[in-house]
Chain A
Amino acid sequence: AAGVIQSPRHLIKEKRETATLKCYPIPRHDTVYWYQQGPGQDPQFLISFYEKMQSDKGSIPDRFSAQQFSDYHSELNMSSLELGDSALYFCASSLIKSGQETQYFGPGTRLLVL
């Protein structure tokens, strides 16, 4: 079965640079979520989209923005990167229209800021 796809899998950036992470949800899923997992930490919710509209916002810094496109893929844009942004970024998707709330996670993008 198709899973959530994230790209790139690994990314190295310098401080103050920008990064764009991409997420392709499971086909026909209507909701996308972004989470950040710092080293040795539990995942923290950043932001979510339902049917291309922002549906919930968590601890996402103002330097980050995200959107969901007409084909349902989502991008997380990160600007003015800081060392503390080094983390594993997960995307998850779900199909809440059918009442299923299980979130299925992608493999993550590991971002290292030098």
Chain B
Amino acid sequence: GNSVTQMEGPVTLSEEAFLTINCTYTATGYPSLFWYVQYPGEGLQLLLKATKADDKGSNKGFEATYRKETTSFHLEKGSVQVSDSAVYFCALSDNAGNMLTFGGGTRLMVKP
């Protein structure tokens, strides 16, 4: 079956530091890949997505590139802010209308 593995947190960074959260996946075929963010006490918000190999998703300074050769979709941001503190979930869907399979989530804490 499908699975998503993320680096365990928490990840603690100082403001303006570079962020990488690793995500690798196992799936048949060509899944679509997503990053969702969950701020404290809130629901899941779509951060970015990529639907085919070599696609780069980007939003709010965050980027992730769909790497089929390494089955990875690592999340990066060049300069984090305190307001980026949240839990980040990597997820995949193997077809439109199918369930999302989530990774375990990575908590990011950014200190001033």
Which residues of A approach B to under 8 Å, CB–CB? 31, 33, 35, 41-45, 48, 50, 55-56, 58, 90, 92, 94, 96, 99-108
Report Cα–Cα, A92/B45, bound state, in Å: 11
A103 touches B43 (CB 8 A): no
B34 touches A102 (CB 8 A): yes
Interface residues of B in 22-70 (CB under 8 A from A): 32, 34, 36, 42-46, 49, 51
Give how many A-B residue pairs fall within 8 Å (CB-CB).
60
The chain B residue with its CB closest to the CB of A103 is: B100
Instruction: Count chain A CB atoms within 10 A of each CB in B96, B101, B103 and give the residue with the most.
Output: B96
How far does the Cβ of A74 sit from chain B's closest Cβ, in whole Å?
15
The chain A residue with its CB closest to the CB of B36 is: A105
Q: List 13 A-B contacts (CB under 8 A).
A: A41-B104, A42-B102, A43-B89, A43-B100, A45-B99, A94-B97, A96-B96, A96-B97, A101-B51, A101-B93, A103-B93, A103-B100, A105-B44
* Nearest 4 CB-CB pairings of A with B: A101-B96, A45-B99, A42-B102, A105-B44
Report Cα–Cα, A13/B17, bound state, in Å: 44
